[in-house]
Structures are given as structure tokens and as C-alpha cells.
């Protein structure tokens, strides 16, 4: 039997879980969860993106993303509209209130990230970021397409 704490993947997963838990707590006063935050940021960065495209980029199911988008629409943070060339697709656009909340939430995320990484020096943080980016590019490249204007959904 092996000790999971000796596995890099397990440690990465544990750190991801700890980060997600802290982010969920920090976002609670904004009445946002992580799926809603991801949706709101994607829509603010990529006006006209579809819910299906956000789900693909986030690695979430269409159902999970649909629930997040519906909650944001009901709060007046994003709006749905017809796609100019594909009637089966609905475009999403952030409202002024949605863009303001996305900016505020990003500051909250930055604070959590700063807290999570404060144990590392600035150089170590840059190294960790570069290594994680390489790993994500290799294993889940579609998640890095945050604001690709050529692919709105």
C-alpha cells in the first residue's frame, strides 16, 4: 500500500480542494459559488459566449453550467440573446452589474490566492505558476481559452 501524500497528483488535488473551499467561503458574502464565478468571468471576458462553450472551457457538465447561468440571469448579472447566425445558440453578455461584481469577485479571489501562496517567495510563486500552466496546457488546454474572440460559442 502506498502513501498518497507521496504522489504529486494527490498533493495537487489536495491544494486544489483547499483553494476551492477557501474561495467558496470568501465568495459566499457575494452570493456566488465557483461555477457562477467562472461563468460570470467568462461572460465578462468573452461577450457573446454560449453556456455550452463555458462548460467546455471549465470542464463542467452542461447541466451544472446551466444552473450557474440561470442563477446569474435571475440576478440580472448576465443576459441571454440570440446568436446572429445560429438560432439554436443563445449568446451571453454581462450586464453593468455583472461586470462590476466580476471585478469585485476577482479582488476577493486575488486576496485568497495571495493568502494561499504567501508561504512561497515571489520567485517560487512564479515557478509554481509556470509549471502549473505547462501542466494545464498539456492536460486541459481548452481551459486556458478565457477570452478567445474567435470562439464565442
Classify residue 98: in a domain, yes or no.
yes
Instruction: Give the global pTM.
Output: 0.82
Percent of the chain with pLDDT over 70: 92
Q: Which of 128, 125, 124, 102 is nearest to 114 (CA)?
A: 125
Q: What is the pLDDT of residue 150?
A: 40
Classify residue 12: in a domain, yes or no.
no
Residue 153: pLDDT above 80? no
Classify residue 132: in a domain, yes or no.
yes
Task: State the total domains in the chain.
Answer: 1
CB atoms within 10 A of CB 93: 16
Rounded to whole angstroms, the Cα distance separating 125 from 114 reads 10
For residue 117, give the C-alpha cell. 501562496
CATH number for the domain spanning 28: value is 1.10.10.10
Domain of residue 86 covers 23-139
Q: What is the pLDDT of residue 145?
A: 58
pLDDT (tens digit, 9 = 90+) per residue, 5-36? 888 989 999 999 999 999 999 999 999 999 99
Amino acid at each position: 500500500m502506498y502513501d498518497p501524500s507521496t504522489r504529486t497528483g494527490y498533493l495537487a488535488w489536495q491544494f486544489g480542494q483547499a483553494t476551492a473551499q477557501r474561495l467558496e467561503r470568501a465568495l459566499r458574502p457575494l452570493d456566488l459559488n465557483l461555477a457562477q464565478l467562472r461563468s460570470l468571468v467568462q461572460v465578462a471576458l468573452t461577450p457573446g459566449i454560449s453556456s455550452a462553450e463555458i462548460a467546455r472551457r471549465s470542464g463542467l457538465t452542461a447541466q451544472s453550467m446551466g444552473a450557474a447561468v440561470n442563477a446569474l440571469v435571475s440576478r440580472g448579472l448576465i443576459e441571454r440573446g440570440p446568436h446572429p447566425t445560429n438560432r439554436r445558440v443563445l449568446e451571453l453578455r454581462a450586464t453593468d452589474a455583472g461586470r462590476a461584481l466580476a471585478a469585485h469577485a476577482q479582488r476577493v479571489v486575488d486576496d485568497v490566492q495571495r493568502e494561499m501562496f504567501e508561504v512561497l517567495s515571489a520567485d517560487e510563486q512564479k515557478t509554481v505558476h509556470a509549471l502549473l500552466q505547462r501542466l494545464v496546457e498539456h492536460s486541459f488546454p481548452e481551459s486556458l481559452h478565457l477570452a478567445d474572440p474567435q470562439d464565442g460559442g
